[in-house]
Structure 1
Amino acid sequence: MRGKIKSISMWLWHHLTPQIFAVICVFIITIIALFVPPYIGMADNGDFFRIFSSNGLFVNNTNYDALQFGHFVKEFGIYQYFNENQVAIYSSQSIFIQMALLLNKLFWSTTVFDVRFLGGLQLALLLPAIYLLVAGLTAKMKGWPGYVVAALTVFIFADTAYTAYFNSFFSEGLILIMMLYISAGFLLLYQHKYNDYAMLGLIFVASLILITAKQQNAPIAVVIAVCGILVFFIRKNRAFRISAAATFLVIFLSGVVMYAFIPGEFVTINQYQTMTRGVLLDSENPEKSLEEMGMNSEFALLKGTNFYQKYKMVDLDSPLMEKEFYPNYNFVTVLSYYLENPKQFGKMLDLSAQNSFSIRPFEMGNFEKATGYKFKEKTHFFSAYSDMKEKFAPAKFTFLILWALVFLICYGVSAFKHFREKNIRGTLLFDLIVLLIGSGFAVILVTIVGDGEADLTKHNFLFNVCFDLTILIGAASLLEVYLKKRGERNA
Structure 2
Amino acid sequence: MRLKKRNLFYQRILFLILALIIIKYVLFSYPQPGVADQGDFQRVMSEGGIGLIHEDIINLDFKRFNEYTVTDYSIKDNGFIKFESSTIGYIIYFISLICRSIGEDVFKTQYLAVIYVIIYVSALYIIMKSMNIKSRLKFGILSLLSLFVFLDGNYLIWFNSLYGEPMMISTLMLFIAAYSSYVYKKYTLKDDNKIIGRIVFIFIAAFLFVGSKMQIITAMPMIIFMLVKVLLDNRKVISKVNLVCLSVFLVIILIYPMRITMKNKEMSKDTQYNSVFYGVLNSSNDPKQDLIDLGLNSDMYVEAGKHAYLNPDEYVKYAPKTEITENEFYRKMSNGKLAKFYLTHPIRLIEGMKYTANHAFITGTGLGKYSRSYSEESIREFDKFTIWSKFRENKFPKNIRFVILIYTMIFSVSIYKYVKNKGNNKIRNKIYIIWLLIFIAALQFPMPFVGNGEADTTKQLFLFNFITDVIILISVYWSISKGIDFIGCKYKSIKSV
Q: What range describes the TM-score normalised by the shorter chain of this pair? A: 0.7 to 0.9
- Secondary structure at the aligned position of 2:279 is classed as helix
Q: What amino acid maps onto 2:478 in structure 1?
A: S
* Aligned pairs for 1:281-300 within 5 A: 281-300=282-301
User: Shift in Å at residue 91 of structure 1?
Assistant: 0.7
1: CA distance, partners of 2:133 / 2:387: 29
- Secondary structure at the aligned position of 2:238 is classed as helix
- With 305-314 and 366-375 compared, the bigger mean Cα shift is at 366-375
- Secondary structure at the aligned position of 2:414 is classed as helix
Picking from 93, 98, 109, the partner of 2:93 is 98
1: CA distance, partners of 2:80 / 2:460: 26
1: CA distance, partners of 2:252 / 2:137: 38
User: Shift in Å at residue 201 of structure 1?
Assistant: 2.4
Is contact 1:76–1:113 with CA below 8 Å preserved after alignment?
yes
User: Shift in Å at residue 51 of structure 1?
Assistant: 1.2
2: CA distance, partners of 1:50 / 1:87: 13
Is contact 1:215–1:262 with CA below 8 Å preserved after alignment?
no
Moved over 6 A (4+): 10-13, 84-89
User: Shift in Å at residue 440 of structure 1?
Assistant: 1.0
2:436 pairs with 1:435? yes
2:161 pairs with 1:168? yes
Match of 1:71 in 2: 68
> Structure 1 length as normaliser, TM-score?
0.88
Any idea what the Cα deviations from partners look like across 1:425-475, whole Å, max 9, x if unmatched? Answer: 321222111100111122223333322221122222111221111122222
2:336 pairs with 1:332? yes
Listed as ranges, the gaps of 5+ residues in structure 1 are 1-9
Q: What amino acid maps onto 1:291 in structure 2?
A: I
User: Shift in Å at residue 230 of structure 1?
Assistant: 5.2
2:135 pairs with 1:134? no
Assess, with a 3 A threshold, how the Cα gap between structure 1 residues 251 and 162 changes in structure 2: closer, same or farther.
farther
2:402 pairs with 1:399? yes
Is contact 1:22–1:130 with CA below 8 Å preserved after alignment?
no
2: CA distance, partners of 1:40 / 1:471: 27
Any idea what the Cα deviations from partners look like across 1:360-396, whole Å, max 9, x if unmatched? Answer: 333x121122322742512100111111111122211
Any idea what the Cα deviations from partners look like across 1:101-138, whole Å, max 9, x if unmatched? Answer: 2444466x62332221111122122221110122234x
* Aligned pairs for 1:330-369 within 5 A: 330-362=334-366, 364-369=367-372
1: CA distance, partners of 2:66 / 2:296: 36
- Secondary structure at the aligned position of 2:111 is classed as helix
2:182 pairs with 1:182? no
Is contact 1:103–1:117 with CA below 8 Å preserved after alignment?
no
Q: What amino acid maps onto 1:164 in structure 2?
A: I
Q: What amino acid maps onto 2:343 in structure 1?
A: L
Q: What amino acid maps onto 1:174 in structure 2?
A: M
1: CA distance, partners of 2:323 / 2:452: 22
User: Shift in Å at residue 486 of structure 1?
Assistant: 2.4
* Aligned pairs for 1:165-314 within 5 A: 165-191=158-184, 192=187, 196-228=195-227, 231=230, 237-239=236-238, 243=243, 246=247, 249-250=250-251, 253-254=254-255, 257-258=258-259, 261-310=262-311, 311-313=313-315, 314=317
1: CA distance, partners of 2:282 / 2:380: 29
Is contact 1:57–1:76 with CA below 8 Å preserved after alignment?
yes
Match of 1:7 in 2: none
Is contact 2:342–2:348 with CA below 8 Å preserved after alignment?
yes
Is contact 1:18–1:134 with CA below 8 Å preserved after alignment?
no
**What CA RMSD, in Å, does the superposition of the two structures yield over aligned residues?**
3.0
Match of 1:38 in 2: 31
1: CA distance, partners of 2:379 / 2:227: 42
2: CA distance, partners of 1:53 / 1:236: 41
- Secondary structure at the aligned position of 1:97 is classed as helix
Assess, with a 3 A threshold, how the Cα gap between structure 1 residues 67 and 248 changes in structure 2: closer, same or farther.
closer
Is contact 1:215–1:258 with CA below 8 Å preserved after alignment?
no
- Secondary structure at the aligned position of 2:211 is classed as helix
2:380 pairs with 1:377? yes
User: Shift in Å at residue 255 of structure 1?
Assistant: 5.6
Q: What amino acid maps onto 1:41 in structure 2?
A: G
Is contact 1:348–1:448 with CA below 8 Å preserved after alignment?
yes
User: Shift in Å at residue 256 of structure 1?
Assistant: 5.8
2: CA distance, partners of 1:338 / 1:248: 36
Q: What amino acid maps onto 1:386 in structure 2?
A: S
Match of 1:412 in 2: 415
2:326 pairs with 1:322? yes
2:128 pairs with 1:124? no
User: Shift in Å at residue 231 of structure 1?
Assistant: 4.3
Assess, with a 3 A threshold, how the Cα gap between structure 1 residues 21 and 351 changes in structure 2: closer, same or farther.
farther
1: CA distance, partners of 2:430 / 2:75: 46
- Secondary structure at the aligned position of 1:113 is classed as strand
1: CA distance, partners of 2:29 / 2:363: 22
Listed as ranges, the gaps of 5+ residues in structure 2 are none
- Secondary structure at the aligned position of 1:26 is classed as helix
1: CA distance, partners of 2:460 / 2:377: 25
Assess, with a 3 A threshold, how the Cα gap between structure 1 residues 34 and 98 changes in structure 2: closer, same or farther.
same
2:389 pairs with 1:386? yes
Is contact 2:99–2:105 with CA below 8 Å preserved after alignment?
no
Assess, with a 3 A threshold, how the Cα gap between structure 1 residues 262 and 446 changes in structure 2: closer, same or farther.
farther
Is contact 2:116–2:167 with CA below 8 Å preserved after alignment?
yes
User: Shift in Å at residue 64 of structure 1?
Assistant: 7.2
Q: What amino acid maps onto 1:47 in structure 2?
A: D
- With 88-97 and 290-299 compared, the bigger mean Cα shift is at 88-97
Q: What amino acid maps onto 1:201 in structure 2?
A: V
Assess, with a 3 A threshold, how the Cα gap between structure 1 residues 461 and 21 changes in structure 2: closer, same or farther.
same
User: Shift in Å at residue 299 of structure 1?
Assistant: 0.8
User: Shift in Å at residue 485 of structure 1?
Assistant: 1.6
User: Shift in Å at residue 348 of structure 1?
Assistant: 1.1
